[in-house]
Amino acid sequence: MFQSIRSHVATLLALFTILLPLILVGCGPSTWDPGVIDLTPLAGDDVEVSTPEQQGMDSELVEDLYRDAAGLDTLYGLLVFKNGDLIAEQYFNGGSVGQKVALASVTKSYTSALVGIALDQGCLSSVDQRMLDFFPEIAGQITDPRKEQITIEHMLMMRSGYPWEEFTPSYLERLLSSRSWLPHLVDFPLTSDPGTEFGYSNLTAHLLAVIVARACDTDLLPYSQQNLFSPIDAQVGDWPRDANNYCFGSGDISFTARDAAKFGQLYLDQGVYEGNQVVPADWVRDSLQVYSRGIYGNRIGRYFRDIGYGYLWWSARAGDHNFNYAWGHGGNLLVLVDELDLLIVTTADPLHGIWGQEAWEKEGAIIDLVGKFIRALPGE
């Protein structure tokens, strides 16, 4: 259970301790034949299907996207939705429509949604509630009074003050060697005052999932199935747990590409799925705001610019288009281009156990694939 999480975070360490260069594109060959461009979505009654032309898109741009995708050897699935309809779908490198993929840190965006649902139901009263209110067994051990100021909102914004583990090997090793992460509330020092600086913390993202479970007095898996997954007709696969039996809020929840797309479309549609308000509309709006800017030197790869962060959702710009995205290691992405009513989904090998330049080249190639496509799209 812990090996995949350990590999996931260790991979992020190597990824983010190098300066983000212009990413090299072009990995090994895919099994998909780029000479035959058939974008027709596979048969199924779980999504509405259409064509690029019917939805006002240039089919040549979409075909170019899939030609580029064919050269990436860790990409499993690539789906494009326009105006809510699936207009293009292909699978690569052994991927399939029924394949459930560990989506790595895309999980954090699901955790954000569950916080919003818990607030709407009254389990949580406010994002201003203090983190330590939910950990009474630990609160008495805290010696840094600043930790008493950390709120749920700070955690959602990645502004808790806890260290960005991937930039600090000693903290990362301690995190990975622990069977329970809860004690690190005590022994991890703050590297900034709460609310003042962005610092990507796997620890606090996981603790948000623990907070929802405790506040709602429930196991997070059935709670999520009842309130999020089932209402959007999504079937969850594996979801790792920590040593205290809490679902891991930071990474590796598994879905098919289509079911992951339903979550992305839910956010494009202001939290509504088939006429039902699943996630409160104001929570969707607040989650996709930009609270931190200039992250990673304001660029990721060749095309993502103006990098920002909301409530466990990323934001960026490519060409003339702004977008939000859920981002998981290996190149697992849910990309929401709201101004175009466009959703792009990639599922990929989460690259457990692979790190350094090799991992970043593969992940960066998928990020550049999506960024190049968005940059080429005309405005509406």
Q: Would the pLDDT of 16 be above 80? A: no
Average pLDDT estimate for 97-109: 97
Q: Which residue has the higher pLDDT, 334 or 175?
A: 334
> What would the two tokens of residue 118 be?
């818990």
Q: Is 360 within the bounds of a domain?
A: yes
User: What is the pLDDT confidence band of residue 121, given thresholds at 50, 70 and 90?
Assistant: very high
Domain holding 365, by residue range, is 26-101+235-243+252-376
> What would the two tokens of residue 73 be?
């050897």
Q: Is 119 within the bounds of a domain?
A: no
Q: Report the DSSP beta bridge partners of residue 325.
A: 314, 335
Q: Is 201 within the bounds of a domain?
A: no
Q: Is 190 within the bounds of a domain?
A: no
CATH of the domain at 306: 3.40.710.10
Q: Would the pLDDT of 27 be above 60? A: no
Q: Is 338 within the bounds of a domain?
A: yes
Strands (E), 234-337: 254-255, 272-273, 276-277, 292-293, 299-300, 304-309, 314-318, 321-328, 332-337
Q: Is 111 within the bounds of a domain?
A: no
- Identify the DSSP state of 247: B
Least confident segment among 4-8, 71-75, 353-357: 4-8
Q: Would the pLDDT of 377 be above 60? A: yes
What's the chain's average pLDDT?
90
Q: Is 170 within the bounds of a domain?
A: no
Sign of CA dihedral 123, 221, 161, 292: negative
What are 272-311's pLDDT values in tens digits? 999 999 999 999 999 999 999 999 989 999 999 999 999 9
User: What is the pLDDT confidence band of residue 36, given thresholds at 50, 70 and 90?
Assistant: low
| Distance linking the first and last C-alpha atoms of the chain | 46
Burial of 177 (0-12, 13-18, 19+ CB in 10 A): exposed
User: What is the pLDDT confidence band of residue 317, given thresholds at 50, 70 and 90?
Assistant: very high
The reported pTM is 0.91
pLDDT at residue number 323 = 99
What sections of the chain are H helices per DSSP? 2-16, 59-69, 107-121, 136-139, 152-156, 169-176, 184-187, 202-215, 220-224, 257-268, 281-287, 357-376
Q: Is 370 within the bounds of a domain?
A: yes
pLDDT at residue number 357 = 81
Task: Provide the 3-class DSSP secondary structure of residue 1.
Answer: coil
Q: Cα 265 vs. chain centroid, distance in angstroms?
A: 14
Least confident segment among 63-77, 151-165, 168-182: 168-182
> How many structural domains does the chain have?
1
What are 196-250's pLDDT values in tens digits? 999 999 999 999 999 999 999 999 999 999 999 999 999 999 999 999 999 999 9
Sign of CA dihedral 95, 100, 285, 111: negative
Average pLDDT estimate for 74-81: 98
pLDDT at residue number 78 = 98
> Residues with Cβ < 8 Å from 60, sequence gap 6 or more?
none
Average pLDDT estimate for 353-370: 88
- Using alpha carbons only, give the angle 104, 157, 341 rounded to the nearest 5 degrees: 70
pLDDT > 70: percent of the chain: 89
What are 41-54's pLDDT values in tens digits? 876 768 899 999 99
Q: Dihedral through CA 334, CA 335, CA 336, CA 341, nearest 10?
A: -100
Q: Would the pLDDT of 355 be above 80? A: no
Query: Number of H helices and number of E strands within the chain?
Result: 12, 13
Q: Would the pLDDT of 17 be above 70? A: no
Sign of CA dihedral 302, 304, 307, 311: negative
